[in-house]
Amino acid sequence: MDLDFLIRRAKESEEKAGCIFMFHGYGSNKEDLFSLEQYLPESQTIISLEAPLKLPFGGFSWFDIDYSDVIENNLDKRYNEINESIENLLNNIDKHIVNENLNKDDITILGFSQGGSICWKLGLDYSSKFRRVIPISSFIHPSYLNKDLDFYRELLIYCSHGTQDEVIPIGLVEDYIKSLIKKNNLIFEKFESGHTITQKNLVNLTNWIEKTKFN
């Protein structure tokens, strides 16, 4: 299934451009994270994808969810839906890499909330396909860490979370992230905020993308 998307192409260069693929949160749409494109490096193409499931109250979802599942860390019953969403995303990403003639070695995925969980799952299961993984204010299920942690050593990860997040409390994810830090060059930043992306968060992640740019 081809997903709707918005695109900002990279500034013209003799080199193939890298790309940042964006995955929005539950109930949102492709316009949401795309509004950040003006702050992100011009050397990167930006593609904001829209989730396939249309919600009755408006907006879209990557998979059906009851947030009690998040609080109780009970995403097992959504396993098949999550995997279907991941497979569809991979197909869409591969098409864009070919159609836009992108540098397949400089692909970044960035997601917020439910989109951040997709970002974790996609990045950890298919770490060889991505250079950077940027999950923001998102949940990470223990089943995502289904390989020896050495497997993730080369993956560049910047993740962040608000200490006052009431949608996905930081306590649900912090221990899993810390276990990854032991084996991975992972940046984990906490901000005194709720379930949102702060200006400081945006500045820091943009600087991190620049510092880790592909040579």
Confidence band for 55, pLDDT divided at 50, 70 and 90: very high
Quote the pTM value. Answer: 0.91
Please report where in the chains the tokens 């299920």 appear, as a residue: 141
Length of the chain: 215
CA separation for the pair 176, 21 (Å, rounded): 24
Q: What domains lie within the chain, and their CATH numbers?
A: 5-11+16-211 (3.40.50.1820)
Q: Which DSSP symbol is given to 125?
A: H
CA separation for the pair 32, 60 (Å, rounded): 11
Confidence band for 73, pLDDT divided at 50, 70 and 90: low
142-175 per-position pLDDT tens digit:
666 666 656 666 789 999 999 999 999 998 888 8
